[in-house]
Each structure stands twice: as structure tokens, then as C-alpha cells.
């Protein structure tokens, strides 16, 4: 393709990703008077943030005045199995209340008590009630509020641009390259700073709560190709209740509220199996324990015909189900024609959240590449080996603001922007080569092969032979990737987008398998059947790049004022997440 046929754009700060973290960063930049452009590969009102249901954490003290950011921090570090970066935790918990107030300023309507206080409810493993919410669609309301505020500020948002590569010269980012998924028009975007807000990598498993073509590891590939590193890619939260059928909806979540309201888990023999794994908390146990229990039952041959377990709420009064679980009722009717008041739901563990991500500094989420930042699920540092329910939405608001401010300051401090025609030419050639590819391998089939490999060898429970087998299978898949065929058609350039999704998925899979192999212990979400115990010597982050492989990185000590508050949290009557 010639340079003349490319669209050329310029901005002070480029944000890649139209979810909550990207929009919050863009709003901060616009409010500071900085020129910002936001690119997304899916419609802004349908970003992954909209799927977050439960709520957003902040120690507001509206319900429990004794709550504090220090206690919120202690709960977060404890739930992370001590792998969270303490400074990152401090920054999020101290800034969370301001994030809530920002949303109120943007016009978001939180649930409130009769006297006007913001309502706050218990989420699992919290010492106090600190989760603010809007019904069971908090993420959707947050996304709507952010889109509304961005529109008021006239933020430029292009919804259909797929970014294929970051443009880097002398370890300094100067923009990005991509194409329009509708008509294939190329775009060269020059920018002083770039913010990656492109989500996680949970779509590389067969069952996932992510939808098709999202969370395919884009942030991993873009960052690594630019010269950045990944931290803890093996730490992935598996949610215990993803549906199994139909295949195009496999992994879609049945809300945790179904267990919270009294749902019972049974195996194919009708046994209430949680009695074997957590007799006190039963179905109200933690996500990682319930997911592990389900996996164990299925692998022991006690699973349902489709390889799952039963979640049954049919014993509850119909009125309770219709009042407390209306979305679950409606969803199962629409997807499976299943009336949950009359029969059980077939579920299994599903990949839900990337707790690792791009390596960033806690102060401003800058990376190893000058001018490049990562935020939201694309970044790492807050969640460790288990995410405290409700913290992900707090994180995107707090660091969205911080990263926006940091990128603004970085842009203002530049004397000049150095570019590279060679870097642009390499990005252009990468797309040209794929469009010219006329091999016999189907991109979608290879994506499925990656998902099958990760599901077989890097799911809820892992071991060394399986992880090595996974890496060998991945080698074979990457060999087949050299012979793909790309065929844009009248409907658009989705086939080209899927080819780049595949590249991202393969890289994310390799990082995950390599780090999972090195973490020879069981800690939080990471279960090694050959290393069933937690190893205190592995209270480290695992940092991966193609050049270095996996390297251990020390974690700073937890400040005394937080460590003293890390006590056991009562879970009586609470759903523990």
C-alpha cells in the first residue's frame, strides 16, 4: 500500500481502547485541555466494562463509618495472597472515593439509602460494606456516564479502528498504526504519548466470560512488540459459573447472586458436593475454591453429560427468583429456553479476569517504553493471585485519572517528537503481508486450537507435563500460523482483525504457559497439582518477555499500618468472591 492512501492523524495523547479505563483517561486529558484521540475495535457503548455487574469499591463509610482506605488496602493485599504491589494498592484504595465522586459529577445515579447516602453492600472478603452499585448493571452505568462526559468534552472517538502495532523509535513511542475494520482504510496516528487500555487475555480459553473478539491479549502483543514486559500472566481468575451451551455463548456468566440467594451445586449423581470442599461456607465459598471443587468433581467422572455441574435455584420460591434474579431468569430463557424456576443450570468454571498484565510502575503506570502507559485490565500490580470483588472498577477510575495526568505532563515536557519512517514501514508491511496471505489455514480454526490448548493444559489446575505439552502444541500452532489465508469481503475486514487477534492470543498463551510453569506452587487462582502447597519463597512477581523469558521480581514489603489490619474476615452469610 502506498503512503498516500493512508489516513494520517495526529494528537497529543492517543488512547487505545474505549472501555472504562480508556475513557476515564481521555476525560482527564480533555479536562486538562490536552488534545486526545481514542481508538477502539468495538462500539464504545458495548465495551467489556458494560458486563461488570456487582459494584465498585471505595471506603466511603456511608454504611460502616469505621471503614478506612487502610482497611480496604489490607483486604486487597490479603486477598491477593501477598502478590499485589503494596504501593499500587495504596494508590487505588486512597483514590477510590474520588473516583466515585467523579462518576457522580458525570451524572451517574448510584443506589442510595432513604436519607440520600450512597448505598454500600458486602462483597466477598471485605471487612466492611464498601461496594457501591447501580442495581446489577453497575459497569453499564459507569460506561454510559463516561461516554456521556467524553461526548460533552468533544473527545474524538473512532470506534472501528483496529490498532496493529505501536510505533517506536529509540525505545520511545510516537504513535500507532492500524486499519478500519469496515473498509480497510489504513491509519498512521502520530502521538506524543500512548495509553494502552485494551483489556486482558481471558478469550484464549474455550470457556470465558469475555465475548467473541474481545480480551484476546491485544495489550500483551502491542506492549511486548513495543519493548515492554508482562507481569504475572499466569494469574487468571476462573469464575465458577459459566454456562456450557450453546457453544457461541459458552462461558457466559450466571450471576454470583444465584449462589448468594441460596443456589445449590450438585454433581451428576445429585450430591451437594461443596460439603466435601468447604463444609462451613458451602456454595458461599470463594470463587477459586468453588471453581476448584467443580473442576475436581468433573475430572473425577462426576460431571454432567457436557462436562459441568448443576447449579439449582428451582427450590427457591418463584417470587424470590423473579425479584432477586430477574436477569439470570431472562438470560437463561433467551439463551437456552430454560426456566430456572423449574430446573437446574449446567455450569462449569470459566476464564474471567486477567490479574496480571503489562508491567507498569505503581506511581503513574508508565512502562519500559518512554511515553507508553497501560491501564485497567491491560495493566498489572493490584490484584495478585486473587482479585478482591469490586476492585477492578475502582482501579480503572483511579488509574484512568492518574495515567491521563501523567501522559499530559509527559507530552508537555517534550522538546520534540522523534519519528521513524522505518517503524511505519514495518507496520505497513505487516498488514500488507497478511492481506497477501493465501494459505490454507483458517484463522478461526487456529484461534480455536489455541483455546483448546489453554483449556486442556492451563485451566483451573495445572502440572508440569501438561504445561510442557501446551508449549509444544503452541509451537505447532505457530508453525501453522505461517500458512494462513486472509480474505476480506464485502462485509469488511474482520478476517484481518481476527488474524491479529490470533497473533495476540498466541503470544498471550506463550507468556501464560511459561510463567505458569515457573510458578511451582499453589497460590490463589494458580493451582499446581504437582506443587499443592504455597511456597513463601515464591512471594514474587514473574515478569516475562521474549528476550528474557521468565524473571522473578521482588515485591516491596507491606507497610506496617496495612499489615496490622490483615485479619481473617468473617464470611457468615456472605458470598465470598
Q: Is residue 127 part of a domain?
A: no
pLDDT of residue 492: 81
Average pLDDT on 206-213 reads 89
Q: Is 556 exposed, middle or buried (0-12, 13-18, 19+ CB in 10 A)?
A: exposed
pLDDT of residue 288: 84
Q: Give the C-alpha separation, 260 to 573, whole Å.
A: 9
pLDDT digits (tens, 9 = 90+) for 428-473: 999 999 999 999 999 999 999 999 999 999 999 999 999 999 999 9
CATH code assigned at 286: 3.90.700.10
Indicate if 299 and 310 belong to the same structural domain: yes
Q: Give the C-alpha separation, 297 to 311, whole Å.
A: 14
pLDDT at 568 over 80: no
Indicate if 201 and 317 belong to the same structural domain: no
Q: Is residue 511 part of a domain?
A: yes
pLDDT at 577 over 70: no
pLDDT category of residue 77 using cuts at 50, 70 and 90: very high
Q: Is residue 492 part of a domain?
A: yes
pLDDT of residue 5: 78
Give the end of a domain, one of 367, 387, 419: 419
Indicate if 150 and 26 belong to the same structural domain: yes
Indicate if 25 and 156 belong to the same structural domain: yes
Give the end of a domain, one of 352, 368, 387: 352
- Among residues 393, 272, 259, the alpha carbon closest in space to that of 324 is found at 259
Grid cell 431472562 — which residue? 330
Measured on CA atoms in the order 461, 465, 467, 469, is the torsion positive or negative?
negative
Indicate if 246 and 348 belong to the same structural domain: yes
Give the domain range for residue 168.
Answer: 11-55+135-236+354-419
CATH code assigned at 371: 3.50.50.60
pLDDT category of residue 564 using cuts at 50, 70 and 90: very high
pLDDT category of residue 323 using cuts at 50, 70 and 90: confident
CATH code assigned at 487: 1.20.58.100
Average pLDDT on 17-42 reads 97
Show Cβ contacts of residue 261 under 8 Å, excluding neighbours closer than 6 positions: 313, 316, 320, 321, 324, 325
Indicate if 377 and 347 belong to the same structural domain: no
Average pLDDT, the chain: 94
**What does each C-alpha distance from 181 to 164, 210, 222, 241, 293 come to in angstroms?**
11, 20, 18, 33, 42
Q: Is residue 126 part of a domain?
A: no
Q: Is residue 456 part of a domain?
A: yes
Decide if 211 contacts 202 (C-beta within 8 A): no
pLDDT digits (tens, 9 = 90+) for 407-431: 999 999 999 999 999 999 999 999 9
Indicate if 456 and 309 belong to the same structural domain: no
- Among residues 219, 194, 202, 511, the alpha carbon closest in space to that of 353 is found at 202
Q: Give the C-alpha separation, 27 to 286, whole Å.
A: 35
pLDDT at 491 over 90: no
Which residues belong to the active site? 287
Indicate if 22 and 163 belong to the same structural domain: yes
Indicate if 374 and 445 belong to the same structural domain: no
pLDDT digits (tens, 9 = 90+) for 267-319: 999 999 999 999 988 998 878 889 999 999 999 999 999 999 999 999 999 99
Indicate if 444 and 366 belong to the same structural domain: no
311 phi-psi bin (left φ>0, alpha ψ -120 to 50, beta other): beta
pLDDT at 571 over 70: no
By percentage, how much of the chain surpasses pLDDT 70? Answer: 97
Domain count, the chain: 3
pLDDT category of residue 205 using cuts at 50, 70 and 90: very high
Q: Is residue 88 part of a domain?
A: no
Indicate if 214 and 254 belong to the same structural domain: no
Q: Is residue 562 part of a domain?
A: no
Amino acid at each position: 500500500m502506498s503512503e498516500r492512501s493512508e489516513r494520517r492523524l495526529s494528537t497529543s495523547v492517543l488512547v487505545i481502547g474505549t472501555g472504562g479505563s480508556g475513557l476515564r483517561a481521555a476525560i482527564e486529558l480533555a479536562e486538562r485541555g490536552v488534545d486526545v484521540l481514542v481508538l477502539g475495535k468495538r462500539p464504545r457503548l458495548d465495551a467489556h466494562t458494560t458486563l461488570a455487574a456487582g459494584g465498585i469499591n471505595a471506603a466511603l463509610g456511608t454504611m460502616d463509618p469505621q471503614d478506612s482506605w487502610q482497611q480496604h488496602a489490607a483486604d486487597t493485599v490479603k486477598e491477593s495472597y501477598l502478590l499485589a504491589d503494596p504501593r499500587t494498592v495504596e494508590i487505588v484504595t486512597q483514590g477510590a472515593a474520588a473516583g466515585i465522586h467523579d462518576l457522580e459529577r458525570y451524572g451517574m445515579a448510584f443506589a442510595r439509602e432513604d436519607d440520600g447516602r450512597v448505598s454500600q453492600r458486602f462483597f466477598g472478603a471485605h471487612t466492611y460494606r464498601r461496594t457501591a452499585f447501580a442495581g446489577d448493571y453497575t459497569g453499564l452505568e459507569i460506561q454510559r456516564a463516561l461516554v456521556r462526559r467524553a461526548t460533552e468534552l468533544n473527545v474524538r472517538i473512532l470506534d472501528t479502528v483496529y490498532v496493529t502495532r505501536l510505533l517506536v523509535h529509540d525505545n520511545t513511542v510516537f504513535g500507532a498504526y492500524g486499519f478500519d475494520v469496515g473498509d480497510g482504510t489504513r491509519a498512521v496516528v502520530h502521538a506524543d504519548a500512548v495509553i494502552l487500555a485494551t483489556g486482558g487475555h481471558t478469550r484464549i480459553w474455550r470457556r470465558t466470560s469475555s465475548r467473541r473478539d474481545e480480551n484476546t491479549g491485544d495489550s500483551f502483543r502491542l506492549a511486548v512488540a513495543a519493548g515492554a514486559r508482562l507481569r504475572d500472566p499466569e494469574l487468571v481468575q476462573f469464575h465458577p459459573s459459566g454456562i456450557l451451551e450453546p457453544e457461541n455463548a459458552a462461558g457466559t456468566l450466571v450471576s454470583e447472586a444465584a449462589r448468594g440467594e441460596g443456589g445449590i451445586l450438585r454433581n451428576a449423581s445429585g450430591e451437594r458436593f461443596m460439603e466435601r470442599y468447604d463444609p462451613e461456607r458451602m456454595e458461599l465459598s470463594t470463587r477459586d475454591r468453588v471453581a476448584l471443587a467443580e473442576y475436581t468433581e468433573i475430572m473425577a467422572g462426576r460431571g454432567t453429560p457436557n462436562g459441568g455441574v448443576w447449579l439449582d435455584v428451582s427450590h427457591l420460591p418463584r417470587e424470590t427468583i423473579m425479584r432477586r434474579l430477574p436477569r439470570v431468569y431472562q438470560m437463561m430463557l433467551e439463551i437456552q429456553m430454560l426456566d430456572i424456576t423449574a430446573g437446574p443450570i449446567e455450569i462449569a468454571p470459566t476464564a474471567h479476569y486477567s490479574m496480571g498484565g503489562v508491567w507498569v510502575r505503581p506511581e503513574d503506570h508508565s512502562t519500559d517504553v518512554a511515553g507508553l502507559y497501560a491501564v485497567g485490565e491491560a495493566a498489572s500490580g493490584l490484584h495478585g493471585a486473587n482479585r478482591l470483588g469490586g476492585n477492578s472498577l475502582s482501579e480503572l477510575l483511579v488509574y484512568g485519572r492518574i495515567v491521563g495526568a501523567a501522559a499530559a505532563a509527559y507530552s508537555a515536557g517534550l522538546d520534540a517528537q522523534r519519528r521513524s519512517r522505518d517503524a511505519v514501514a514495518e507496520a505497513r508491511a505487516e498488514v500488507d503481508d497478511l492481506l497477501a496471505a493465501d494459505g490454507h489455514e483458517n484463522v478461526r480454526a487456529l484461534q480455536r486450537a489455541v483455546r483448546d490448548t489453554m483449556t486442556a493444559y492451563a485451566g483451573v489446575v495445572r502440572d508440569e507435563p501438561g504445561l510442557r505439552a501446551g508449549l509444544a502444541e503452541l509451537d505447532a500452532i505457530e508453525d501453522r500460523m505461517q500458512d494462513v489465508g486472509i480474505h476480506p469481503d464485502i462485509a469488511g475486514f474482520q478476517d484481518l482483525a481476527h488474524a491479529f487477534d490470533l497473533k495476540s492470543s498466541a503470544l498471550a498463551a506463550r507468556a501464560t504457559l511459561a510463567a505458569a510453569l515457573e510458578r511451582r506452587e499453589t497460590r490463589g487462582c494458580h493451582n499446581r497439582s504437582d506443587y499443592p502447597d504455597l511456597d513463601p519463597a515464591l512471594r514474587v512477581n514473574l515478569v516475562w518477555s521474549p528476550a528474557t523469558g521468565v524473571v522473578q521480581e521482588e515485591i516491596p514489603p507491606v507497610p506496617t499500618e496495612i499489615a496490622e489490619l490483615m485479619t481473617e474476615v468473617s464470611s457468615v452469610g456472605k458470598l465470598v468472591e
